[in-house]
Chains A and B, each alone.
Chain A
Amino acid sequence: MAARAAFPAGLVLDAHKRQASAAPIVELPPPMRVVLALDQGTGYAAEPVVAVGEAVATGTPVARTDHPFASALHAPFAGTVVAIEARAAAVAGGRCVCVVIEGNGSDRIDDGVRPVADPGSLSPEELARRLRDAGIAGLGGAGFPTATKLASARDRRAQTLLLNGAECEPWICCDDALMRSAADDVVLGALILRRAAGAVRCIVAIEDDKPAAIAAVTGAVERLGDAALTLVVVPAVYPQGAERQLITTVMGVEVPAGGLPADAGVICQNVATAAAVARWAARGEPLLSRVVTVTGSGVERPCNVRAPIGTPLAALIAAAGGYRDTPLRLIAGGNMTGRALPSDEIGLTKAINCVLVATRDDLGPRLDATELPCIRCGDCANVCPAGLLPQQLHRAVLADAQDALRQLGLRECIDCGLCDYVCPSQIPLTDRFRGAKHRLDAAEATARKAADARERHELRTRRLQDAATAAQQTFESVRDRARTPGSNAAGGTD
């Protein structure tokens, strides 16, 4: 089955995927050490449960969390915790506390790592709890804990699990490689996730520029799937793989503004997440590794690598033959939404699907861009996949007009970067919008606090007034009683 792109606009970009997708996935030998960031890119950190000097085995829990946006971490190999300290990391702000583990070459496996006997017999809630403990998180680039999304699906009785294999951003091809080599895992994981979400059907969506992956998944669905598991081929238009845009293309519905996908009766999971769930079910293995694309004109041999979470990016680049030419930016993710990192000592996180080592060839006119005034050409509006008017938003950003920003739908901006891409005035729109969203969040938090304080003050004033009134009434009733003839309480004045 094939679907047409149904979201507004979008753009076909140069894919740059061939470089890395040709070769089979490279299995990286365990690196000397891993740097596990307690914040895996969602902005929320887990709590470490190990101490410096402690010995760990493969799969030993390193950090736990109850926070819905943070995910548990496990030791990817046996070794010793050598440091727990703030380091450079692929997170907002650039630094967070990391657990550094040095390997000792032993293949000792933690006692907690046992195959899940029969995942089909577990209740959806129990399945989701175990996935949370196993640190399963979205491997498509957001790193959002899978169990949290599953809970939102159950709460809102979402009927559909949409498995995202679109992989629309240029350069990234790790999902393509994974679907080609481990389509069975994708399908088995999809069945488990469908159960855990309480959904009745599952749709796998793959962009039409990945015929080999489509063939592999089709075969796996025929072998292992059922009637409620189908595959949809979607057009390769950026940003087809963005959650909301994919839902609209596949399901024909929109996620309400300010709502969750589950409000539209659907939740999305990445195909790599499904494969990780299958590994967990088969071996009891928590999320210890992921497939990541290492590519760009700045590496010798672009390829896809399966590497332990926490692997220093330098080790990944070494697996791709090392640096070549003059690498200018080290980008975690693709060239449209990826975060440029300052150093290759940063550890791989669950959210990093691609390491793009970009040279001048890859960055091109971006490096020499000079901002000119907006000429209102409207090219930005013509590509915006959220149907926004970026030029109007930009005016509102410059004027810091927060009501206008809300009304023009700043919150609906998905940071896809297309308005920047087409802007003939080379205005850094996406970055300005990102800043404006933070300011809007901060202003709303302040407004909420102020409203709270006012309410508290008003309630206190009312309580004091009530107390004063009560005291007055008591006084008056006592006085009246005293004045009542026949009472001898206070004696008459007459």
Chain B
Amino acid sequence: MRFDTSPAPHVIAGYTVPRVMFQVLFALVPAGIAHVALFGPGLLLQLSVACVTAVLAEAAALRWRGRDAAPALRDGSVLVTAFLLAFSIPPLLPWWLGALGTALAVLLGKHAFGGLGQNPFNPAMVGYAILLVSFPAEMTRWPVPMDVDGVHTWPELARMSFAGFYGADLTTRWDGYTGATALDSIRSGLGLRYTLPELLGRGDIAGTLGARGFGWINLAALAGGLYLMIRGIVRWHIPVAVLGGLLVPSLIAHGLDSGIALGPTMQAFSGATMLTAFFIATDPVSAATSDRGRLWYGAGIGLIAWIIRTWGGYPDGFAFAVLLMNLAVPFIDRYTVPRIYGRQA
């Protein structure tokens, strides 16, 4: 009898990249439900646009690069990019902006560097950051969450989402439905010399938990993130470090001056905090390598986001925090190589 002489090991766990990617998509479902419940079906439109654009852009990029498109499309990574971008942008954003952002994320953020595994920056955040700096007004106007006032109805929101509302005559109608996010209102309110208790007492900023509307989305993202941790897809280092980097300074600042500094609960449950901590910063390709490195990397993201939220020109700042720390990864990796067995520390 003749036998196959392939090299050892002769067994593998069989837990593949596509399975990892689809688990990540699955873990986003609670946040998606909360999102749709609060801001209407806009997310579904953005998701559809982003997924279609992402797959087309991935296929086109692979074709231009002379690679086989089939395995890369099956790995599911491009869908994760599309999902993360769609979750980050306002649900009533004109569809073509979502498409543009996704195409830039895939082409410039991912394939310009050599595709899956080679990109130094988180592709979704590349797309998001370009949209944010290019279309700041559109990118910071979110629908008024449903849990506070019932001025708009679902059918109306659906019509807005799918019909589009861009154009001079629609701007006034749009204003009726959208507004600044809680973090944005706080930032401008503080700029007008209001105190934090006054702003939070206004009723259109704080919700039951954290920021109005965003609190629930953050809670749902936290649930999905914990699921990923239990399944062993995300290890604790990055999420804990991101939250620590954000919450420790906010706790100290809040303790020093609660009149202007947001407390940790508000920080944790507003904006993109949980989505970043569990889904965006944990993208392994653009994160630091070792556990120790990942602690530094995550803490840096949390701290930079806190700095931007406190003093920066943008209300949230997680996208820039992630991109800045992506930039620091080679440096972190160089100084956090784990000790090898048998070598001196």
Q: Give chain A's interface residues, CB within 8 Å of chain B.
A: 7-8, 13, 94, 170, 244, 248, 254-259, 323, 327-331, 333, 335-344, 356, 358, 362-366, 369-370, 372-378, 381-382, 385-389, 391-392, 408-409, 412, 415, 417, 420-426, 428, 430-431, 434
Contacts and interface: CB of A to CB of B under 8 A. Distances in A.
Which 5 A/B pairs are nearest by Cβ-Cβ distance?
A365-B14, A417-B9, A257-B342, A373-B117, A409-B340
A388 B343 CA distance: 11
20 contacts: A13-B11, A170-B11, A257-B342, A328-B3, A337-B9, A342-B5, A365-B13, A365-B16, A369-B12, A373-B115, A373-B118, A375-B17, A375-B77, A387-B339, A388-B340, A389-B289, A409-B341, A422-B13, A423-B12, A426-B16
Given A336-B8, A428-B7, A377 B341 contact: no
B7 A340 contact: yes
A389 B338 contact: yes
Interface residues of B, number: 42
Contacts of A358: 10
A417 B12 CA distance: 9
A108 to B, nearest CB: 34
A39 to B, nearest CB: 17
A170 B13 CA distance: 14
B6 A329 contact: yes
B253 interface: no
B169 interface: no
Contact of A244 (B15, B19, B294, B342): B342
Contact of A340 (B10, B115, B341, B343): B10
Given A366-B10, A412-B340, A375 B116 contact: yes
Given A330-B1, A378-B290, A417-B9, 4 more contacts: A7-B341, A381-B338, A408-B340, A422-B13
B4 A340 contact: yes
A436 to B, nearest CB: 13
A199 to B, nearest CB: 21
B116 A373 contact: yes
A196 to B, nearest CB: 26
Contacts of A374: 117
B312 interface: no
Given A375-B117, A386-B340, A430 B19 contact: no
Interface of B: 1-17, 19-20, 71, 75, 77, 115-118, 235, 284-285, 287, 289-291, 294, 333, 337-343
A328 B4 contact: yes
Given A244-B341, A426-B16, A338 B8 contact: yes
Contact of A381 (B4, B77, B289, B343): B289
B10 A254 contact: no
Contacts of A8: 338, 341
A13 B11 CA distance: 10
A461 to B, nearest CB: 39
B342 A254 contact: yes
A412 B5 contact: no
A377 B284 contact: yes
A398 to B, nearest CB: 11
B2 A421 contact: no
B6, B12, B235 pick with most chain A CB within 10 angstroms: B12
A442 B5 CA distance: 24
Contacts of B339: 387
Contact of A417 (B4, B6, B8, B337): B8
Contacts of B75: 372
A93 B270 CA distance: 62
Contacts of B20: 375, 377, 424
Contacts of A333: 8
Nearest to B294: A378
B27 to A, nearest CB: 15
B338 A424 contact: no
B10 A389 contact: no
Contact of B340 (A341, A356, A387, A417): A387
